[in-house]
A and B are shown apart, each in its own frame.
Chain A
Amino acid sequence: MPEAEKEPETRDELAFVVERLVASRCALLGRDPRSIAAVVERAAEQWLIDESPWMCRAVDALAAAGPFSQAMLRYALPRMIEPLVDGALERLIEREVGGWSALERVDSPTLVLHVLPSNLPGHAAIPSALTLLLCSAALLKPGRDDRVFAGMWIESIRRVDADVGACVASVYWAGGSREVEDYAMNAADVVIAAGGDAAVAALRARCGGRFIGHGSRLSVALVARDSLDDLAAAGVVDDVAIWDQRGCLSPQVCFIEGSLDDARAFARRVQAGLSGASEVLPPARMEVGEILDERRFRDRAEWRGFAAGETDLYAVDGPPGAGSIAIEREFRLESTPLHRCLRVVAVDDLARVAALLAQNPARIEAAGVAASPQRFEEIAHALHSAGLGHVVPLGTMQKPDLSWRQGNRPRIAEWCGIR
């Protein structure tokens, strides 16, 4: 099974990869982009069939290389690929570009460099697919723990169509290789980077051409008074447990409409759900600093409760990262250390949450809402008005399709300057 390209030690080694990509891209220029979409979709389907050899091998390799368990990878990795099937690519082209025919008039970039974040595996699939759709070549720089997936994904495309597969390469290099990085940044017409704010800002400063950065963001959950039930709690649990909140679509704060007692009752439901989830989806392995951050989160809530003679912490018994729910007495938005740590904030009217989020919409990625249909529409409208682009039912936050505009941006229109 192929893996990522050999780690380039010099500028020349990377230049060789880039030149090969650019040359291969010539074969795409005369092709109907619908055929490229079909290739990508076919490759994605190969990953999603039952007992897919690609998926099985990726799960084994990623579990050995990174912090996630096989169970988590089997459950969550398909979600990184599912958005590419069932005609989703065509709908994306229709929505963002105006259809296949309009794509012929687009001035596509020759080479797009994707600097992928290291938080989750599987990040390589969608960016590379969308780049190919524009008849551009894609150079992927995967995260440290995700090198295996990128190489396998590219190989699966090659198996369907060697010409298309030759236009994508995954090249990993450790941070600090300045000569190699500078070459990569300048060889690409567009650089798209996601990751921590500091890392994105540093890359932006070094990029000579077009740069699109996706920095750190967080998501929230909102539960209306009429939906404070097990179903909503199960939605929170699913959205929190998948990938242990490492993705920006996981809620870190859950606003519930009701009293502090209601918040505690809901927290107990989530606690029970996370307890069950930790059996089915074991938490990721944590480093010492992560364990200590989780403990700080717990200590703070627990002692605040002791001071008041009440319970402000609902912790899941089990390994580190099994789950921690803190009751917050102040109406504010504050991130957590991740690892299934959730703040629950009681609010008398969820309309206040939209006003709170409106203070800094650029930092909010998504909201998951549990409410009756009528309230859902009201709340979603208020959140959209506050600047949130992605508002979905609770429990589906971690299943974004291609209509999700990360950071409120169009998926591909911005890459080639179409807005």
Chain B
Amino acid sequence: MVTEIYERVLGFLEDPAGDRFEEIALAVFRHQFGGCSPFRLYCESRGRNPASVRDWREIPPVPISAFKAVDLCCGEPERVFLSTGTTQGIDNRSRHAMPDLRLYRASAIAGMRRFLFPDVDRLDLVSLIPPVAERPESSLAQMVAWAGEEFGCDGMVECVAAGEPSFETLVDSLRRSERDGAPLAILTTTGALIHFFDYARERSLEFRLPHGSRLMDTGGGKGAPRPMSRKGILHSVWSLFAIPGYFAVNEYGMAELSSQYYDSVIRDRFDGVHRGRVLMSPAWLRAVILDPKSLSPLPDGEVGLVCHFDLANAGTSLAVLSEDIGTIDGGGLRLLGRAPRAEARGCSISSAEWQLA
């Protein structure tokens, strides 16, 4: 029974044609309601159950803070991933316990194929993301490892060792690509990329990568030496690597999800679509914008909390309420930042936490 629903989702990930999202989402909800006791208690507290939920948007979204309190896993976890803890500290990390890793792998690979590599089977890959051997708890590290297996000509050139970036290794790969005329894909955190901008500027380095080279960055400003706008990043990617904006993709993912959003630019170019840069998701991941106060859905164009419905989370939590603010615009998702926290007021200590234990 358990594998049946996962097989059904895997089938949709492999062939997402047809309007099956709702039907599968409701089946996944039934599975999670029956297979995850904390989730069932949560749904019951909201008066929701498989009999009352008729639309996938009615599935109660799980706040990401729930992943800090409980393993939302329908069965024994095969693998547990942790968030970075950037926002609330290392001791307050989300745990995403997955009972069937195939779902994450299939979703991640299909997403990359659709949005990063729609035009190529394989190419040289280089990564500024800590490798999975060093960070086995990182879902991003695992995704990059799978990228190397599926899309790398010769696996993945790792440019991080013992937690530290090895920019010399990256420079070697970039020079090799220039010399051989073989396009290169750079996978990096945004923070490491900005560090490399500074490293290259200090050394007056510049690269002219061959056409078809591309860059994927992710993770927002975590670990960055300074803030940079998306426009500034794209400008620097062009001037430093000669990678044009339409081959520079920002990925948006969360440890609590099994699927990712990507800038639409490579896919749009491949499909001959002309529009502005928006975050697109595969067919099995949908975003709904909710009113921050009431948590009721908002129409397209309005700004609110981003709620994700990810079928690849079939073994954990299909509906995840993030703390990101965004809007659905131009057919895709636009992220506008993190949900606000209250301004500290007056003489009574508020969210600026301090503890005695």
Q: How far is the CB of B249 from chain A (nearest CB, A)?
A: 30
Task: Find chain A residues with CB under 8 A from B344 CB.
Answer: 196, 198, 216
Asked if A296 is at the interface (CB within 8 A of a chain B CB), the reply is yes
* Residue contact A299 to B348, C-beta cutoff 8 Å: no
Among residues of B, the one whose C-beta sits closest to the C-beta of A250 is B348
Interface members, chain B 327-350 (any A CB < 8 Å) = 339-350
The CA-CA distance from A290 to B63 in the complex, in Å, is: 16
**Complex-state Cα separation, A70 to B171, whole angstroms:** 66
Query: In the complex, A349 Cα to B152 Cα: how many Å?
Result: 63
B-chain residues with CB within 8 Å of residue A218 when the two chains form the complex: 348-349
Q: Does B51 make an interface contact (CB < 8 A)?
A: no
Report how far A307 CA is from B36 CA in the complex, Å. 10
A291 interface contact, C-beta 8 A: yes
Which A residues touch B346, using CB under 8 A?
Answer: 117-120, 143, 194-196, 216, 246-248
Say yes or no: A197-B69 contact (C-beta < 8 A), given A214-B347, A292-B340, A307-B38: no
User: A306-B42, A307-B69, A332-B357 given as contacts; is B342 within 8 A of A293 (CB)?
Assistant: yes
Query: Chain A 225-264 against B: per-residue CB contact (8 Å), 1 yes, 0 no?
Result: 0000000000000000000011110101000000000000
A292 to B27, CA, bound (A): 31
* Residue A359 CB within 8 A of the other chain: yes
Count B-side interface residues using an 8 Å CB cutoff.
34
Chain A residues with CB under 8 A of B351: 293, 335, 337
Question: Which residue on chain A has the smallest CB distance to residue B340?
Answer: A289
Measured CB to CB, the closest approach of chain B to A397, in angstroms, equals 12
Query: Contacts A246-B345, A287-B342 hold; do A337 and B356 have CB atoms under 8 A apart?
Result: no
Q: How far is the CB of A215 from the nearest CB of chain B, in Å?
A: 7
Chain B min CB distance to A147 (Å) = 15
How many residue pairs link A and B with beta carbons under 8 A? The number is 143
Pairwise interchain contact B356-A216, C-beta atoms closer than 8 A = no
Report the minimum CB–CB distance from B38 to chain A (whole Å): 4
Q: Are B38 and A216 in contact (CB-based, < 8 A)? A: no
The proximity string for B residues 41-60 relative to A, scoring 1 for CB distances below 8 Å and 0 otherwise, is 11001000000000000000
Which of chain B's residues 65-89 have a Cβ closer than 8 Å to chain A? 65-66, 68-70
Question: How far is B348's CA from A363's CA once the two chains are assembled, in angstroms?
Answer: 10
Contacts of A194 in B (CB 8 A): 346-347
Q: Answer yes or no: B355 CB below 8 A from chain A CBs.
A: yes
CB <8 Å contact, A363 and B349: yes
User: Nearest B residue to A216 by beta-carbon distance?
Assistant: B349
Q: A299-B65, A333-B355, A360-B356 are in contact. Are A119 and B347 (CB under 8 A)?
A: yes
The answer on a CB contact under 8 Å between B348 and A119 is yes
**A114 shortest CB reach to chain B, Å:** 13
CA distance A216 to B346 in the complex (A): 7
Determine which residue in A195, A217, A299, A331 has the highest number of CB atoms from chain B within 10 A of its CB, and name it.
A299
Is B37 positioned at the interface, with any CB of A under 8 Å from its CB?
Answer: yes
User: At the interface, yes or no: A176 with Cβ under 8 Å from chain B?
Assistant: no
CB distance from A110 to the nearest CB of B (A): 27
Could you tell me the distance in whole angstroms from the C-beta of B279 to the nearest C-beta in chain A? Answer: 22
Binding site for A on B (CB under 8 A): 37-39, 41-42, 45, 63, 65-66, 68-70, 292-293, 323, 339-357
Contacts A332-B355, A332-B357 known; 6 new A-B pairs at CB < 8 A: A291-B293, A302-B42, A338-B342, A338-B348, A356-B356, A363-B354
Return the 6 tightest CB-CB contacts between A and B, nearest first: A119-B346, A289-B340, A307-B70, A306-B38, A303-B69, A332-B357
